[in-house]
Chains A and B, each alone.
Chain A
Amino acid sequence: MARVIVITSGKGGVGKTTTAAAFAAGLAREGNKTVVIDFDVGLRNLDLIMGCERRVVFDFIDVINGAARLNQALIRDKRVDGLYVLPTSQTRDKDALKMEGVEQVIGELRRDFDYIVCDSPAGIEHGAQAAMYLADEAVVVTNPEVSSVRDSDRMIGILTSKSRRAERNEEPIKQHVLITRYDLDRVSRGEMLKVEDILEMLALPLLGVIPESRSVLQASNTGTPVILDDASSAGLAYRDAVGRFLGEQLEYRIVGDQPKGLLDGLFNRLWRRSA
């Protein structure tokens, strides 16, 4: 039975696309046939994060308009078996994402895939609503930061009321919170909201905590989902999050980036003390 997962947040720049790419790659690595879809029409970026930007021929909108068939628009990932990307279009036409078309494409994908990961655009406009409308589960990506937590709370409300499941009075979308860009150092110094504070306010089960990590930028530079970087603390945290999503009982371990060498660590500590 295929599951549709929306990666959403309301606020921009919190790590939705990074999370969508990591999640899709993680699910596929566990043997699930997975497709990740970019819903950010006009501001395509999932292709860059997945490293397939030079292979885009047809896109989601072409399929909706009947200009291409679905299997022509799907880009097969060269690193992970069973992982596919459905890029979006760079068109400026706001109405390109027709809801009947989206339903038809997702319906067709449901027949062939185990997981359909929808990368939502920021905001609460049409694109974001199209991305969540058909979802079975939602990952609400939140930064430990006031505006992000507030936007997440707003998004949780919309997920609860404006989905097809809600309209049909079916079991509601199963929602999870994923905290990203978490800096343990700043939390311990009282400069950043704690995991417990965020969970207390959002009242959703925690899927994982992704530490602030240099490897996330490096992964996006090279177009590699960060979960494929075995040396990355963020990659490890994403692997745990995917494991929990698939039902594994995993302890929450929040580990930041390890200093490069003994000397680096020492310098960092001295620097911080003097600063």
Chain B
Amino acid sequence: MSILHRAFGARGAARLLGLFRSPSAAAVDSAKTAKERLQVVLALERNAGSGPSFLPQLQEELLQVIKKYVDIDNENVSIELERGPEASMLDINIELPTSPLPSRRLPVLQSAH
């Protein structure tokens, strides 16, 4: 290995070794990726009902709670989901109004009481 590296440089050596590698090595890697991706998707889809069907309602209720404190509308909320094989991550972004917070927050808080 080190002799190859010295003689051809790192990239040259890699290319040379690539000649002896099974030609389908890259395809095998991508097939593995394909299997993993499918396992996640199929597991989720076979579990129909446990899907994200509650999300619209979750969003609506979250909005109601936040509106008690901050003046926002539906346009300022984004919900993103990243599913993983073991756990999924729900990412909820709420964009708050750009006006200076202290002056805005007080009257809203008061009206919430």
- Cα–Cα distance between A67 and B88 once the two chains are bound (Å): 22
Query: In the assembled complex, which residues on chain A have CB atoms less than 8 Å from the CB atom of B41?
Result: 48, 53-54
Query: In the assembled complex, which residues on chain A have CB atoms less than 8 Å from the CB atom of B27?
Result: 214, 217-218
Residue B74 CB within 8 A of the other chain: yes
Q: How many of chain A's residues have a CB under 8 angstroms from any CB in B?
A: 25
Interface pair A221/B23, CB less than 8 Å apart: no
Interface pair A67/B56, CB less than 8 Å apart: yes
Interface pair B84/A222, CB less than 8 Å apart: no
Q: A197-241: which have CB < 8 Å to B?
A: 214, 217-218, 220-223
Query: In the assembled complex, which residues on chain B have CB atoms less than 8 Å from the CB atom of A72?
Result: 78-79
Interface pair B26/A58, CB less than 8 Å apart: no
Q: A30-80: which have CB < 8 Å to B?
A: 48, 53-58, 62, 67-69, 71-72
Query: In the assembled complex, which residues on chain A have CB atoms less than 8 Å from the CB atom of B52?
Result: 57-58
- What's the nearest-Cβ distance from chain B to residue A231, in Å? 10
Interface pair A69/B82, CB less than 8 Å apart: no
Contact of B74 among A67, A69, A221, A223 (CB under 8 A): A69
Contact of A54 among B40, B55, B74 (CB under 8 A): B40
Q: A54-B84, A55-B81 are in contact. Are A218 and B55 (CB under 8 A)?
A: no
Interface pair A221/B81, CB less than 8 Å apart: no
- What's the nearest-Cβ distance from chain B to residue A56, in Å? 7
Query: In the assembled complex, which residues on chain A have CB atoms less than 8 Å from the CB atom of B64?
Result: none
- Cα–Cα distance between A55 and B88 once the two chains are bound (Å): 10
Residue B83 CB within 8 A of the other chain: yes
Residue A190 CB within 8 A of the other chain: no
- What's the nearest-Cβ distance from chain B to residue A30, in Å? 27
Interface pair B56/A68, CB less than 8 Å apart: yes
Q: B23-63: which have CB < 8 Å to A?
A: 23, 26-27, 30-31, 33-34, 37, 40-41, 45, 52, 55-56
- Is chain A's binding surface mostly helix, strand, loop or mixed? helix
- What's the nearest-Cβ distance from chain B to residue A38, in Å? 14
Contact of B34 among A71, A221, A261 (CB under 8 A): A221
Residue A145 CB within 8 A of the other chain: no
Residue A168 CB within 8 A of the other chain: no
Residue B19 CB within 8 A of the other chain: yes
Query: In the assembled complex, which residues on chain B have CB atoms less than 8 Å from the CB atom of A222?
Result: 30, 33-34
Residue A264 CB within 8 A of the other chain: yes
- Cα–Cα distance between A220 and B52 once the two chains are bound (Å): 25
Interface positions of A (Cβ within 8 A of B) = 48, 53-58, 62, 67-69, 71-72, 90, 214, 217-218, 220-223, 260-261, 263-264
23 cross-chain CB contacts under 8 A: A48-B37, A53-B41, A54-B81, A54-B82, A54-B83, A54-B84, A55-B83, A57-B52, A57-B55, A57-B80, A58-B79, A67-B56, A68-B56, A214-B27, A218-B30, A220-B34, A221-B34, A222-B30, A222-B33, A222-B34, A261-B19, A263-B19, A264-B23
Closest 5 CB pairs of A and B: A221-B34, A221-B30, A54-B83, A218-B30, A57-B81
